[in-house]
Amino acid sequence: MDSTTSSPISIDAEQVQKESAELTILGAGAWGTALAQLVEKNDHTVCLWSRRTAMTLAKAVAGSHVILSAVSMKGVPAVAAQLKAAGIPRETILVTATKGLDPETTRTPSQIFQDTFPDNPVVVLSGPNLSKEIEQGLPSATVAASTHPEAAEAVQYLFASEIFRVYSSPDPLGAELGGTLKNIIAIAVGVCEGLALGSNARSALMTRALPEMMRIGTHLGGQADTFVGLSGLGDMLATCTSVLSRNYRVGYGLAQGKSLEQILEEIGSTAEGVNTTNVLIQIANREQIPAPISRQVYRLLNGKITAQEAVEALMERDLKAEACLLT
C-alpha cells in the first residue's frame, strides 16, 4: 500500500464533527446497510448504492467526500474499475469494509483500490462487527486503518457513536488480513462445534489459530501487534463464537455431513471464508508459509477429507514446544 500522508483529503476529522459529510456506500447488503445506519445517526448524508438500484454508480458517488465499498470480494475489481471510469477526485477518501482475497490477483480489497487510485487515501474498516448486532443497536468497536492518518481520523469520527467505538491504526494491510484470515478459522471452529468436540478442543484450536494468522499476516506485510487487536483476535473471537457468522455455519454444516452447496444455499449469502481459503492456500504454496489449520480447512472444503479426518490430521502433527507465537 503506497498512499502517502501528503495526499489531500476531501474532509477532515474536525469538519466531520462540525458539519454533515457526504458519504456513498457501495453494497446494500446487511453490512452496508448497518454501516449506513451508523452514519445516518451521526447526521451525515448517506447514499446507499447497489447494482440493483436505478441510479448509476457515477451519479451515486458524485460529490461524495467518502466512498465506502461493502460489496462482496468478487465484486471489488469491477467496482474499482467503475469508480475509475467515474473519475472521482483524488481527494476523495476511499474506505473498504470487505474481507477477502481476489482469486485472480491474490490481492486484498485495499490493495486493489490503492493500485487503481494511487493518489487517493485508502482506509480499511475492520473489526468484530456482526451486522445484525449493530442493526440492533448493541455496542461494538472497530478499527479505521490507513497509512494516511488524517483520512483514518476522519473515518473514525464519521462512524463513532455511543454504540460504535472506532479506533485508528497505521496498519491497513494487517487490519485487513486479520479480518480476512479469521474467516478460515471460523470455518474450522464451526467444524469443531459441529462434531461436538468440546470446549477444550475449541479453545486449543482458536489459540493455535492466532499464531497461524500472525505468521501469514506478517509474512504478507502486516504488523504483528495488529493481529492481537480488534481487527485480528477481536474479530476472530466474534466470528468463531457466534451462530450469526456465516463462515462458522459453513464449518458446522460440513461437520453435520451436509454438502458445501447445500450449506451455502441455506445461508443465502456469501461466506467469504470459502473463497479466502482457496486463495490463501495458493499464496501459502507460493510463499512456502506453514498454514496447517487453513490447509485442513482447504482439504475439507474441496472434498479431499472428511471433517473427522481434518481433526485427526491436526492432532497427529509432530509434537513441538509452544515457544513462540509465530511457530
Q: Residues 250, 260: contact at Cβ < 8 Å?
A: yes
Residue 69: phi and psi, rounded to 5, are: -100, 120
The DSSP output letter for 21 is P
Torsion sign over Cα 200, 240, 209, 211: negative
Whole-angstrom Cα distance, residue 127 to residue 144? 9
Is the Cα torsion angle 61, 62, 67, 73 positive or negative in sign?
A: positive
Q: How far lies 221's CA from each of 3, 10, 316, 325, in Å?
A: 15, 28, 31, 17
User: Which residues lie across from 123 on neighbouring strands?
Assistant: 95
Indicate which residue of 74, 84, 182, 320 is catalytic: 182
Report the C-alpha gap between 207 and 124 in whole angstroms: 25
The string of DSSP codes covering 230-276 is IIIIIHHHHHHS-TT-HHHHHHHHHHTT--HHHHHHHH-S--HHHHH
CA distance readout (Å), 132 to 9, 140, 180, 245: 31, 11, 19, 10
- Helix-helix angle 246-255:260-267, to 10 degrees: 140
Active site residue 182: yes
* Catalytically active residues, by annotation: 182
